[in-house]
Amino acid sequence: GQQLNQSPQSMFIQEGEDVSMNCTSSSIFNTWLWYKQDPGEGPVLLIALYKAGELTSNGRLTAQFGITRKDSFLNISASIPSDVGIYFCAGQGGTSYGKLTFGQGTILTVHP
């Protein structure tokens, strides 16, 4: 099925560093969301974006909904060991209520 193009696929960083990951799509989305998934668990919503150009923060996390509506990025500042996990972007478009298209994920490893 269709998936978003998410990059990078993986990141290895030192504790305290900032992280940036992004998602692009060939289709326009009305909503962009960012999730974090820990091993053996379901994804947990981090940030939701509902308007083109919107910039939203949640603690050390900041995400933006691209003006073209075809991309989004997530920044994590001052990373800590518990940030380890897989981060997914997801988009919703058209009239497919509730149906989300997910990216392939970014695996984040933080070295203390």
Partner 1 sequence: GAGVSQSPRYKVAKRGQDVALRCDPISGHVSLFWYQQALGQGPEFLTYFQNEAQLDKSGLPSDRFFAERPEGSVSTLKIQRTQQEDSAVYLCASSQRRQSYGYTFGSGTRLTVV
Q: Considering the rule CB under 8 A, would residue 65 count as an interface residue with partner 1?
A: no
**85 counts as binding partner 1 under rule CB under 8 A:** no
Buried b (16+ CB within 10 A) or exposed e, 71-102: bbbbebeebeeebebbbbbbbbbeeeeeebbb
d(CA 15, CA 29): 33
Subset of residues 4 to 23 that bind partner 1, contact rule: CB under 8 A: 4, 6
Q: Is 24 in the site for partner 1 (CB under 8 A)?
A: no
Which spans of this chain sit near partner 1 (rule: CB under 8 A)?
Answer: 1, 3-4, 6, 31, 33, 40-45, 48, 88, 90, 92, 96-105
